[in-house]
Amino acid sequence: MKQHEIRCQYYSQEDLLGAGCLDIRLAISAVEMAMRAFEAGEVIFPEKVVQIFNEETQERINCLPATFRKLRVCGVKWVSVFPPNPVKFGMQNLSAVIILSEIDHGLPIAFMEGTLCSNLRVGAVGALAARHLANPQSRSIGFIGAGEQAKMHLLAMKSVLPSLVECRVAAKEQAEEETFCREMGQLLPNVAIQGTGGNLQAAIEGADVIVTATSAQAPLLKAAWVKPGSFYSHVGGYEDEYAVAQQADKIVCDDWETVKHRTQTLSRMHQAGELPDHQIHGNLQDIVLGHLPGRQSPEERIYFNAVGLAYLDVAISHAMYLRTRDSGLGQDLKIQQEMIFEHAHLKNWIRI
């Protein structure tokens, strides 16, 4: 190897899957590690850079960096969100790639497919919240939305709440519900999964765990359907009526200061003066690290909203990188063989 050679590993989604990275426990332990590191002041977490191409549809590409000083790793997620994709083109809404660099010399160590990590992070954070905030004997889960986030959420919830045996799902198109039932039924044969033909109430009423993961901007989830003792994971934007949060006994966020400035239901309520700071129980990190109580009674209705903290993506992708590297999957990418002016044939290549 030449002294100035730079190489990094490339991992496709299939490499990551083949190495066993669709692992909810791996993701949850990376999230817990990241929360401890964040509390210890070991995380650099700059603002994300947002580029919106269509205000109406919110088609956008975001750039989200973060660094773990002690782990000696810096990463960035480059993620595109194109909400019309599924209906208009039959393509996924969200897609991402991730770059990881070491911070001893600042060189890249991995370039990888990032949708798996990103969706796994959403599911793992919802599941970690459920571990602390849902009734541990929860048997039923109801979904509004049957897309990629909903599917990952079901896997993640089943991992932390193995007592879940019944799942109902409502989406805009019946075909989506059918795909959800078929794909998830193969993965979770001990859960009875049923579509409701777009009947949102039928999907939610009586559910111990409720998930909304839609691309809608409408109050789809009604407070009257949310039973005492339930845990609600809100994944999308504005998708529940204000009364859902108003009747909750606890509201928990991944980071309330971040949520406040977004366009989620809770953000809208806060901006309208209808949800003051003191009505928020706290951030998930404080519950996970034992500074705040989680669920305190089987009757509490608990509302959880995560908008997504990119340092968690970097933590999970680093755990995926280590696992995939050790499996021998992936490709070696040559970034440079030597420094620019060291190339013996540079004279033949330059244009001046």
Ligand X SMILES: NC(=O)c1ccc[n+]([C@@H]2O[C@H](COP(=O)([O-])OP(=O)(O)OC[C@H]3O[C@@H](n4cnc5c(N)ncnc54)[C@H](O)[C@@H]3O)[C@@H](O)[C@H]2O)c1
The reply on whether position 267 binds ligand X by CB under 6 A is: no
Quick check: 188 binds ligand X (CB under 6 A)? no
Tokens of 141: 């889960």
Pick from 34, 122, 269, 302 the residue near ligand X by CB under 6 A.
122
Long-range contacts: 255-262, Cβ < 8 Å, 24+? 255/283, 255/285, 255/307, 255/309, 256/280, 256/282, 256/283, 258/307, 258/309, 259/305, 259/307, 262/307
| Closest to 33 measured CA to CA, from 282, 315, 323, 313 | 315
Q: 50 near 60, Cβ under 8 Å?
A: yes
Among 93, 115, 135, 285, binds ligand X (CB under 6 A): 93
Min dist CB 79 to ligand X, Å, is 8
Binding of residue 142 to ligand X (CB under 6 A): no
Local structure of residue 113 (DSSP, 8 states): E
Report which residue's Cβ sits closest to ligand X: 147
- Is 123 an interacting residue with respect to ligand X (CB under 6 A)? no
Amino acid at 335: I
Does residue 149 belong to the site contacting ligand X (CB under 6 A)? yes
In 188-309, where does DSSP find H-type helix?
Answer: 200-204, 242-246, 256-260, 265-271, 284-288
Q: Is 133 in the site for ligand X (CB under 6 A)?
A: no
CB of 308 to ligand X, least distance (A): 3
| Interaxial angle between packed helices 24-39 and 310-327, expressed in degrees from 0 to 180 and rounded to the nearest 10 | 130
Binding mask 200-229 for ligand X (x = CB under 6 A): -------------xxxx-x-x---------
**Of 149 and 317, which CB lies nearer to ligand X in the complex structure?**
149
Closest C-alpha among 65, 62, 127 to residue 94: 62
Q: Which region, judged by CB under 6 A, interacts with ligand X, from 67-75, 86-94, 95-103, 105-113?
A: 86-94
DSSP secondary structure letters along 285-322:
HHHHTTSS----STT--EEEE----HHHHHHHHHHHHH
Of the pair 110, 129, the CB lying nearest ligand X is at: 129
Of the pair 17, 216, the CB lying nearest ligand X is at 216
Closer of 24 and 307 to ligand X (Cβ): 307
Q: Least distance from C-beta 235 to ligand X, angstroms?
A: 5
- Asked if 310 contacts 65 with a C-beta cutoff of 8 angstroms, the reply is yes
For ligand X, the binding residue among 22, 66, 73, 94 (CB under 6 A) is 94
Nearest to 162 by CA among 25, 43, 277, 284: 25
Q: Which member of 76, 307, 315, 320 binds ligand X (CB under 6 A)? A: 307
Among 159, 212, 145, 162, CA closest to 31: 159
The three-class DSSP label of residue 131 is: helix
- Asked if residue 158 lies in contact with residue 130, where contact means CB atoms within 8 angstroms, the answer is no
Nearest to 326 by CA among 72, 1, 33, 21: 21
Please give the size of the binding site for ligand X, defined by CB under 6 A.
29
Q: Which is nearer to ligand X, 234 or 318 (CB)?
A: 234
Name which of residues 20 to 39 contact ligand X (CB under 6 A): none
Closest to ligand X by CB, 169 or 329:
169
CB 133 within 8 A of CB 294: yes
Closer to ligand X at the Cβ: 220 or 245? 220
Smallest separation, CB 244 to ligand X (Å): 15
User: Residue 153 CB, nearest distance to ligand X (Å)?
Assistant: 9
Rounded least distance, CB 94 to ligand X, Å: 5
Rounded to a whole number of angstroms, the minimum distance from the CB of residue 274 to ligand X is 21
- The site for ligand X (CB under 6 A) is made up of 81, 86, 93-94, 122, 144-150, 170-173, 176, 213-216, 218, 220, 235-237, 306-308
